[in-house]
Amino acid sequence: MPRSEPAGREAATPRPDLEGVVVPLVTPLDERRRVCKGSVARLVSGLRPYVSAFMPTLSTGEGWHLTLSQWADMVRATVANADGAPVLAGVELGRAGPVLERARLAAELGADAVVVPPPFPRGAGCPGLLAHYRQVTAGSELPVVVYHENAVSGTPLDAGALAAVCALPGVIGVKESSGSGEFTAELLAHRPGVPVLQGWEQLITSVPGVAGFVGPLANLHPGVCRRALDSFAEADQRAVDALCGQYHLFDEDWYRHVKLELARRGTISTPLTVR
């Protein structure tokens, strides 16, 4: 179904197609905990043949803890090395005003879209969810990918409410990180009208109909993720599950383990985290 443009947005603004493996990049740091541009270049160029888009500065990129300069440097470095692939900048902020400020900066840095979680701290509920995204989409010059989660926001899982968010002009996709295959299937049954990307490795093959996958394993084994997404086969899911166990991707500090492996491979210069 054609989607109208919000007031003030150019109708010709290109919108990235969201499908396949989208990688939520770690944020490589040097010894002074500045973004290491060389590491970003190696990481992005190595992933480029296997992924359809890059998603820096989200939770795997320690987005909640990045300083403004770290955030901007990471987005800038990703854009510089993306080789034409869309860059979807994560904005881990809980209120619409700061989100819109960051979205303006993302546009200046050359990002193609912003990825925005529900409002937090907790307590907004489903009406607050729709109001939040209505304000964000109305004010952002970049398209918006909804980062659907409830661990931080505490927003109840409600497929109808999320489908209403998807119908807002300016929303171009959903990173569906509820952790529930049943919820993902319910959302798809609502025909949200935008691509739904599975946000958990253990669910890649569980819900036919998703357009793609976004998860930290894509930093390390994007080809394995792509095979599971293409096949929806149990054997490929078992391969994904084994790798998740090997790299501790369901630990609270999963991004630390991803960085340790990338540093061991020589892809990034240090395994340092932001905190």
Indicate the domain borders of the chain.
Answer: 20-265
Q: What is the pLDDT of residue 104?
A: 98
pLDDT digits (tens, 9 = 90+) for 14-24: 678 899 999 99
Known active-site residue 175: yes
Q: What is the pLDDT of residue 264?
A: 98
pTM: 0.92
| Range of lowest pLDDT (115-119, 149-153, 212-216) | 149-153
Query: Of 37, 50, 175, 247, which is the active-site residue?
Result: 175
DSSP letter assigned to residue 60? G
Give the H/E segment covering residue 88.
strand 88-90
Known active-site residue 37: no
Indicate the SS3 state at residue 147: strand
Query: Of 37, 50, 133, 147, which is the active-site residue?
Result: 147
Percentage of the residues of the chain whose pLDDT score is greater than 70: 93
Q: Which residues are annotated as a binding site?
A: 60, 214
Q: What's the CATH superfamily of 20-265?
A: Aldolase class I (3.20.20.70)
Q: What is the pLDDT of residue 20?
A: 97
| Range of lowest pLDDT (49-58, 105-114, 121-130, 199-208) | 121-130
CA distance 15 to 30: 33
Q: Which residues are annotated as a binding site for pyruvate?
A: 60, 214
- How confident is the model over 183-208, as a mean pLDDT? 96
- How confident is the model over 146-154, as a mean pLDDT? 85
DSSP string, 13-74: -------EEEE-----B-TTSSB-HHHHHHHHHHHTTT-SEE-TTSGGGTTTT--HHHHHHH
* Dihedral sign for Cα atoms in the order 59, 62, 65, 69: negative
pLDDT digits (tens, 9 = 90+) for 152-181: 777 788 999 999 999 999 999 999 999 999
Q: What is the pLDDT of residue 9?
A: 38
- Strands 144-148 and 171-176, by their bridges, are parallel
